[in-house]
């Protein structure tokens, strides 16, 4: 069998290696238009920031090493121009443009990846406006930053790459760094309230953030670049475009296959295109969201690697379906980590799901062991049966561990009742006897079984106006004096039972503490004494952050 793979890196190179392990006799050809067949593109911002010193550390395989280890014909600096499905041939052009040739195949795999979304006019002929995709891009950006001629840097786009670039450029102390984002918050898949914590940490570390303002034009203005926004303008010495990504080189190449509005290819559960002998994987395809069953574009390395193994299995006769993606991801933001998996608020609303959210702030490990820090967890779940729809986690330690557990819960359609029963590792330096994941399960089950009713801070103002709720603060006197919600009644939790006569059973109360735990205890006391109450999820510490963003 002759197998041709268009594209390397996470999808193509992984497919090729797996195919060889399954079939020693197959003829495998991998063609890539770039200079490198397998490199750590997720490490590029850290190379620019000098966290990774040597660019060679980003090279996972070379054409020579791939040939030696896997006996695969690797052809770099060559571009596939056309696919002839009827004759099962591809037209290939060598990098110098002077030579073209045809190559036949029995099975073809498209793994061309994603390219940055940009306005060509902004990039053309200007060495001080760049996107980041390849090692060559990273080298060019790093060279400019280290030249000493750059002081003001504007990053257009506040997704994963934009935020990672901002953090890594902060390693150069003399730079003024600004992120421009057209939406109302950074990290698009993140809920807006959770994004407020990202904004706070970036600003604390000297990153300027401009929201709700898109890029209109970039002009040369003497020694500076004039970055013209929809509203206002900025001066810059260097601009990094990080507006997002789209499938690369698909339209035109795959005439006759089903392609979506963004250029992504439709595939079936076995990752076959409309043509059964042409497969597609990675950032060029539309797949199914595991939770909703709807189409989903997920340009992440993890799904690409899993798809690569599955398509290799299918070609080799080990038939496996691809079960979709849930969009698990994590990003480092200075001293914090942010991780997310599954559905967010926007998707739950768009798909009209019976979903509720809850926010808790347990400690990362046993509070009596030194170094414990709060972890903020927001979880979306089915308000009827407790199925876990998605989670977002923010903190200094343990974030990856907690979100990985939630990713398993989302993938396996587990419920909050399952989270309650999980037996997870415990020792004081690592967790608590009751894991944050167990606590999350407990909290959701309490809601489902009506032991407590919760509201978000976004709902508080509407409820106060519509149903004349009163707000009760059950923190200590010292906490209350440091700041409190306007017009809040204050009764510390430990005094509540003996001061019930100060409350009116004909009124409805919204109750808060610092994180939501003491206010839950207050709710249980008040409900059993005949009061109508709601717990404000996330507590006052959450409110303080979102109210300032």
Apex CA 169: angle with CA 163 and CA 173, to 5°?
135
- Cα 195 from Cα 179, distance rounded (Å): 14
Q: What residues contact 382, with CB distance under 8 A and at least 6 apart?
A: 353, 354, 355, 389, 415
Q: What is the dihedral of CA 526, 529, 530, 532, to 10 degrees?
A: 0
Report which secondary-structure segment, H or E, holds 312.
helix 301-315
Best CA proximity match to 136, nearest among 243, 34, 51, 245: 34
Write out the catalytic residue numbers: 42
| C-alpha distances in Å from residue 406, one per residue of 36, 221, 410, 471 | 35, 50, 6, 32
- Cα 363 from Cα 258, distance rounded (Å): 49
β-bridge partners, 157:
none
- Could you tell me if 539 and 512 are in contact, meaning their C-beta atoms sit under 8 angstroms apart? yes
- 3-state DSSP assignment of residue 338: strand
- Could you tell me if 278 and 90 are in contact, meaning their C-beta atoms sit under 8 angstroms apart? no
- Could you tell me if 188 and 345 are in contact, meaning their C-beta atoms sit under 8 angstroms apart? no
Neighbours of 240 (CB within 10 A): 29
For residue 293 the two structure tokens come to 């069953």
- Could you tell me if 319 and 498 are in contact, meaning their C-beta atoms sit under 8 angstroms apart? no
- Cα 37 from Cα 6, distance rounded (Å): 11
- Cα 505 from Cα 369, distance rounded (Å): 42
- Could you tell me if 432 and 442 are in contact, meaning their C-beta atoms sit under 8 angstroms apart? no
- Cα 409 from Cα 391, distance rounded (Å): 10
For residue 35 the two structure tokens come to 């200079």
- DSSP per-residue letters across 530-544: T-EEEEETTHHHHHH
Say which residue the tokens 């590792």 belong to.
Answer: 425
Best CA proximity match to 108, nearest among 206, 176, 189, 16: 16
């Amino acid at each position: 069998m002759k197998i041709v793979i268009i594209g390397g890196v996470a999808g193509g190179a992984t497919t090729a290696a797996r195919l060889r392990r399954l079939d020693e006799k197959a003829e495998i050809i991998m063609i890539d238009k770039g200079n490198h067949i397998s490199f750590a593109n997720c490490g590029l911002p850290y190379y620019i920031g000098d966290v990774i010193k040597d660019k060679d550390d980003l090279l996972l395989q070379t054409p020579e090493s791939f040939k030696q280890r896997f006996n695969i014909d690797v052809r770099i600096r060559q571009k596939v121009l056309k696919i002839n499905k009827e004759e099962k041939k591809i037209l290939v052009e060598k990098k110098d443009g002077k030579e073209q040739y045809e190559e036949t195949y029995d099975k073809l795999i498209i793994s061309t990846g994603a390219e940055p979304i940009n306005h060509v006019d902004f990039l053309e002929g200007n060495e001080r406006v760049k996107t980041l995709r390849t090692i060559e891009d990273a080298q060019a950006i790093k060279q400019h930053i280290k030249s000493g001629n750059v002081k003001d840097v504007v990053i257009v786009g506040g997704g994963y790459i934009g935020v990672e670039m901002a953090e890594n450029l902060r390693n150069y102390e003399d730079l003024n760094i600004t992120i421009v984002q057209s939406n109302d918050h950074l990290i698009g898949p993140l809920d807006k309230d959770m994004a407020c914590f990202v904004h706070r940490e970036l600003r604390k570390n000297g990153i300027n953030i401009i929201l709700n303002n898109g890029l209109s034009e970039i002009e040369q203005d003497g020694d500076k670049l004039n970055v013209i926004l929809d509203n206002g303008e900025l001066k810059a010495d260097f601009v990094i475009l990080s507006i997002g990504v789209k499938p690369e080189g698909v339209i035109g190449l795959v005439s006759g296959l089903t392609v979506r509005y963004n250029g992504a290819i439709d595939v079936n559960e076995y990752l076959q295109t409309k043509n059964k002998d042409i497969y597609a994987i990675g950032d060029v395809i539309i797949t199914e969201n595991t939770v909703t069953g709807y189409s989903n574009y997920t340009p992440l390395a993890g799904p690409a690697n899993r798809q690569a193994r599955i398509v290799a299995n299918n070609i080799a006769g080990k038939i496996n379906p691809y079960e979709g993606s849930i969009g698990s991801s994590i990003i480092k933001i200075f001293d914090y980590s942010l991780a997310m998996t599954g559905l967010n608020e926007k998707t739950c609303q768009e798909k009209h799901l019976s979903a509720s959210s809850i926010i808790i702030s347990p400690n990362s490990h046993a509070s009596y062991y030194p170094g414990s820090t709060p972890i903020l967890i927001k979880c979306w779940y089915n308000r009827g049966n407790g199925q876990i729809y998605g989670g977002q986690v923010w903190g200094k330690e343990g974030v990856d561990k907690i979100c990985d557990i939630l990713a398993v819960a989302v993938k396996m359609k587990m419920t909050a009742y399952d989270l309650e029963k999980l037996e997870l590792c415990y020792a004081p330096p690592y967790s608590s006897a009751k894991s944050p994941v167990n606590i999350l399960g407990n909290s959701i089950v309490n809601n489902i079984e009506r032991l407590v009713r919760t509201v978000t801070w976004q709902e508080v103002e509407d409820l106060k106006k519509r149903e004349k709720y009163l707000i009760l603060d059950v923190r200590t006197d010292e906490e209350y004096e440091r700041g409190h919600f306007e017009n809040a009644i204050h009764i510390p939790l430990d005094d509540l039972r003996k001061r019930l006569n100060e409350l009116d059973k004909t009124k409805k109360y919204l109750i808060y503490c610092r994180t939501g735990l003491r206010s839950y205890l207050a709710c249980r006391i008040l409900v059993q004494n005949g009061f109508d109450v709601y717990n404000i999820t996330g507590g006052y510490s959450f409110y303080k952050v979102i109210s300032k963003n």
